[in-house]
Amino acid sequence: MAQGGPRNVVISSNNGLACNEIAMSYLERGRDTLDAVVAGVNSVEDDPNDDSVGYGGLPNEEGAVELDASVMHGPTRRCGAVAGLRHIKNPSKVAKLVMEQTDHCMLVGEGALRFARAWGFKEENLLTEKSRLAWMVWKQSLRDAGGHNNWTDGLDAPGKPSARLRGAFPGADEELLAYAWDRAANPPTGTINCLALNAKGEMSGVTTTSGLAWKIPGRIGDSPIIGAGLYVDQDVGAGGSTGRGEENIRVAGGHTVVENMRKGMSPTDACLDTLKRISRNYNDDKAKLAKFSITFYALRKDGVYGSASLWSSRTRDGKTAPQRFAVNTGGKSRMEDCAYLYASF
């Protein structure tokens, strides 16, 4: 994954194919690298079908969508972030305004919302029918020690629970219900991280997410934490992450990736080394590590880039296969293989 010299490059997580093309079109028109990556991820924040970012992102345990985002601008060495932001579907734009229009680095919760309101952002219901269904399925899947849940009907209720759920969501077909059950059982920490370099050697990055599905209200992951979900050093390069934020915060992953590159590691090795630190936090116990996923992305100032995930994925017939990340060096985006620390089992 090595090509030489500053030039237009955009990389992002595997949900970033279209994002990267938008960002690249900005770079090709000579626009600023931060404008480029924010415009790119806005398309994912606006997409109701990406349930890990922005509008349609899976909510907290109370059904409220809380969004986190951070931005870093290499040339000015500035940053901004918002966390626990409700009702505003483009937290990355608000994070950019925190960077540009305040002398703070991060706003959270109600304060972030008031700031967004002051700047004219429209408040919206970010819960789609699809994400509401997944949330209701999750609530109904919970049980106390006696097997009871107040959110499912009593012993005297007629019909099967699945039929009643279908009645409450008449638009839900089998595929949608299967999706909701999968999300209830496996709460995702999706996210998009997008990093860009232009031909002048300028760099910026953004990370935006709805965070861990079904989280405790107020939980903040790694995405808005400068140095964890994102870090850019104009002298070296940029690093970012998707996946379980709690693990990333404990190794300051974005910063670690960049510092590793400063010490001379390739972008891919910088990501792998950061994953090793996460593994070390569990004494390399694969049974524990198998309970989460996390991926790092790195873009060096000379245009060399890489990515590595904690686990590989598996093909349908059980073979080890790399995870993928999205790359654009001009024209259409493509998927490239991530390195991985462990082959999934």
Report the nearest approach of ligand GLY to the CB of residue 264 (Å).
28
Is 191 an annotated catalytic residue?
yes
Binds ligand GLY (CB under 6 A): choice among 227, 237, 245, 303: 245
Left (φ > 0), alpha (ψ -120 to 50) or beta: where does 262 sit?
alpha
Q: Give which of 202, 272, 199 is closest to 4, Cα–Cα.
A: 199
- CA 224, 228, 229, 232 torsion: positive or negative? positive
**Stretch of 114-122, 132-140, 242-250, 328-336 contacting ligand GLY, by CB under 6 A:** 242-250
Q: Give which of 115, 77, 31 is closest to 232, Cα–Cα.
A: 77
| Length in residues, the chain | 345
**59 vs 243 by CB, closer to ligand GLY:** 243
242 binds ligand GLY per the rule CB under 6 A: yes
Cα 241 from Cα 228, distance rounded (Å): 8
At position 331, the amino acid (one-letter code) is G
221 binds ligand GLY per the rule CB under 6 A: yes
- Contact criterion met (CB below 8 Å) for 308 and 1: no
**83 vs 127 by CB, closer to ligand GLY:** 83
Report the nearest approach of ligand GLY to the CB of residue 213 (Å).
10
Cα 297 from Cα 170, distance rounded (Å): 41
**221 vs 237 by CB, closer to ligand GLY:** 221
Binds ligand GLY (CB under 6 A): choice among 44, 83, 127, 212: 212
Report the nearest approach of ligand GLY to the CB of residue 60 (Å).
11
Binds ligand GLY (CB under 6 A): choice among 51, 66, 202, 222: 222
Give the pairing of strands 305-311 and 9-12.
Answer: unpaired
Residue nearest to ligand GLY (CB): 221
**84 vs 303 by CB, closer to ligand GLY:** 84
- Judge residue 214's burial from the number of C-beta atoms within 10 Å of its C-beta, 0-12 exposed, 13-18 middle, 19 or more buried: buried
Report the nearest approach of ligand GLY to the CB of residue 247 (Å).
9
209 binds ligand GLY per the rule CB under 6 A: yes
- Contact criterion met (CB below 8 Å) for 214 and 60: yes
16 binds ligand GLY per the rule CB under 6 A: no
Question: In 235-263, which positions are buried (b, 16+ CB within 10 angstroms) versus exposed (e)?
Answer: ebbbbbbbbbbebbbebbbbbbbbbbbee
Return the SS3 of 129: helix
Binds ligand GLY (CB under 6 A): choice among 96, 244, 255, 301: 244
Q: From the candidates 191, 208, 268, 295, give the one annotated as an active-site residue.
A: 191
Query: Alpha carbon of 293 to those of 99, 166, 287, 308: distances in Å?
Result: 30, 31, 12, 11
Binds ligand GLY (CB under 6 A): choice among 42, 43, 131, 223: 223
**58 vs 165 by CB, closer to ligand GLY:** 58
Instruction: Give every CB contact of residue 241 below 8 A, 6+ residues apart in sequence.
Output: 191, 193, 207, 222, 228, 229, 230, 248, 253, 254, 294, 295, 296, 297
- CA 143, 147, 148, 152 torsion: positive or negative? positive
**Stretch of 92-100, 240-248, 261-269, 297-305 contacting ligand GLY, by CB under 6 A:** 240-248
Give the contact letters, 132-151, x = binds to ligand GLY (CB under 6 A), - = no: --------------------
Residues 142-201 that bind ligand GLY (CB under 6 A): 189, 191
Report the nearest approach of ligand GLY to the CB of residue 212 (Å).
5
Residues that bind ligand GLY (CB under 6 A): 189, 191, 209, 211-212, 221-223, 242-245
**Residues labelled catalytic:** 191
